[in-house]
């Protein structure tokens, strides 16, 4: 009886009193049935006598018993967990702080909970290999993985997606890419932003934002294309726009900048908000002296002064689309990505377009 002795030793080590019920077998003994029956009863399977089932359930409830999910999931080879990874590649300070990502995470939590999945969150700091992603995909702990933001890891994600199907990414859709992406058309959004400013009378633009991430790079590209087509100069400013005191950076730069600039395309609402403050402090009126347009349409964009004109990304719809596609992929289907159209949200930080 080495086995039994060993078992009791383990239990003693774990500080578990004899007689405490922690396994199906314990419940089975109490109910006078087999472990298999308890398993079926607790899982609500139909092939168990209704009366027996209720008796077993009562006993389980009485003891506050719940089946060990680790064991259950190992055996049934279905974890019921989705991994959510936020790569912090090009971020200056390596911590999860982006309010857009955090908000998306909130909605993902809602959608996944609704769908009966648990959410395993992982902050990843890429190190040049694909390890940050693969430790999640091949851990055996998750049925699928969602990546929030491509950061500067596009190639890594492509490579992993080649052999791991249940993977959905928030970010930029590049033509012909392998991995399933949900996101908005950032280039179109960038064009839309510049176009709105130009229509509203701006004649010299500046784009504010760090373009090392792919999405923002595309926003810049779109804005640049639109400006060029309209024969309007657009400069780009990215230094110090990721740090804590973005405000002071923007302030000094705007103060020194050619006064002819009359329109700011901000890469995100947060950047726009800092710009609003900086402009206020150096005494330039918005939208009179300078028009400002943001990106994301976070709730706080409506709260700034003046309220921020911005490009909307549908965060809730995006989360829903991601979860839906991931579920399909877990079922083996080959769900395609989704590029949502951005939309202009007019508020008071820009002038009314002369074309309206």
Nearest by Cα to 262 from 345, 312, 315, 203: 203
Contact 234, 266 (CB under 8 A): no
Residue from 12, 43, 74, 155 in contact with a second copy (CB under 8 A) = 74
Contact 309, 195 (CB under 8 A): no
Q: Which does 346 bind (CB under 5 to 8 A by kind): a second copy, DNA, none?
A: none
**320: contact with a second copy by CB under 8 A:** no
Handedness of CA 129, 133, 138, 139 (dihedral sign): positive
**237: contact with a second copy by CB under 8 A:** no
Site string for DNA, 51-70 (x = CB under 7 A): -xx-------------xx--
How long is the chain?
356
Contact 218, 188 (CB under 8 A): no
**Closest approach of DNA to the CB of residue 4, in Å:** 7
Q: In the chain, where do the E strands start and end? A: 81-87, 118-124, 144-148, 167-170, 180-184, 205-208, 234-237, 263-266, 291-296, 309-312, 338-340, 343-345
Residue with tokens 């890891």: 153
Stretch that binds a second copy, among 10-18, 209-217, 222-230, 256-264 (CB under 8 A): 10-18
**235: contact with DNA by CB under 7 A:** no
**11: contact with a second copy by CB under 8 A:** no
Contact 278, 247 (CB under 8 A): yes
CB closer to a second copy, 193 vs 278: 278
**57: contact with a second copy by CB under 8 A:** no
**Closest approach of DNA to the CB of residue 220, in Å:** 45
**147: contact with DNA by CB under 7 A:** no
The Cα 200–Cα 206 span in angstroms is 15
Q: Which does 300 bind (CB under 5 to 8 A by kind): a second copy, DNA, none?
A: a second copy
Residue with tokens 């709260």: 303
**248: contact with DNA by CB under 7 A:** no
Where does this chain bind a second copy (CB under 8 A)? 10, 14-15, 64-71, 73-74, 77, 79, 81, 84, 86, 94-97, 99, 102-103, 105-107, 109-110, 113, 118-123, 134-135, 138-141, 163, 244, 247, 273-274, 276-277, 280, 299-300, 302-305, 307, 332
């Amino acid at each position: 009886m080495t086995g039994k002795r060993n078992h009791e030793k383990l239990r003693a080590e774990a500080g578990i009193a004899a007689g405490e019920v922690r396994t199906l077998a314990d419940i089975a003994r109490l109910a006078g049935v087999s472990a298999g029956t308890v398993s079926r009863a607790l899982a609500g399977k139909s092939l168990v006598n209704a009366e027996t089932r209720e008796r077993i359930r009562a006993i389980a409830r009485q003891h506050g018993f719940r089946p060990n999910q680790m064991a259950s999931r190992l055996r049934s080879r279905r974890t019921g967990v989705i991994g959510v990874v936020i790569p912090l590649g090009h971020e200056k300070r390596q911590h999860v702080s982006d309010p857009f990502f955090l908000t998306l995470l909130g909605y993902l939590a809602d959608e996944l909970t609704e769908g009966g999945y648990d959410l395993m969150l992982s902050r990843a700091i890429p190190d040049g290999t694909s390890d940050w992603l693969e430790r999640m995909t091949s851990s055996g702990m998750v049925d699928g993985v969602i990546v929030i933001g491509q950061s500067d890891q596009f190639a890594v994600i492509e490579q992993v997606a080649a052999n791991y199907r249940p993977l959905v990414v928030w970010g930029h859709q590049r033509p012909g890419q392998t991995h399933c992406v949900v996101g908005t058309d950032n280039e179109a959004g960038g064009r839309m932003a510049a176009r709105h400013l130009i229509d509203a009378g701006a004649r010299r633009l500046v784009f504010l934002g760090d373009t090392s991430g792919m999405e923002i790079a595309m926003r810049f590209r779109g804005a640049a294309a639109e400006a060029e087509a309209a024969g309007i100069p657009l400069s780009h400013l990215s230094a110090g726009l990721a740090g804590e005191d973005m405000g002071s950076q923007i302030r000094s730069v705007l103060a020194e900048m050619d006064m002819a600039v009359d329109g700011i395309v901000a890469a995100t609402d947060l950047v726009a908000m800092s710009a609003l403050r900086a402009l206020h402090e150096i005494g330039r009126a918005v939208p009179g002296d300078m028009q400002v347009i943001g990106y994301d349409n976070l709730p706080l964009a409506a709260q700034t002064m003046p309220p921020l004109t911005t490009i909307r990304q549908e965060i809730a719809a995006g989360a829903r689309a991601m979860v839906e596609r991931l579920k399909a992929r877990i079922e083996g289907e080959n769900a395609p990505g989704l590029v949502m159209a951005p939309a202009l949200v007019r508020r008071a930080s820009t002038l009314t377009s002369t074309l309206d």
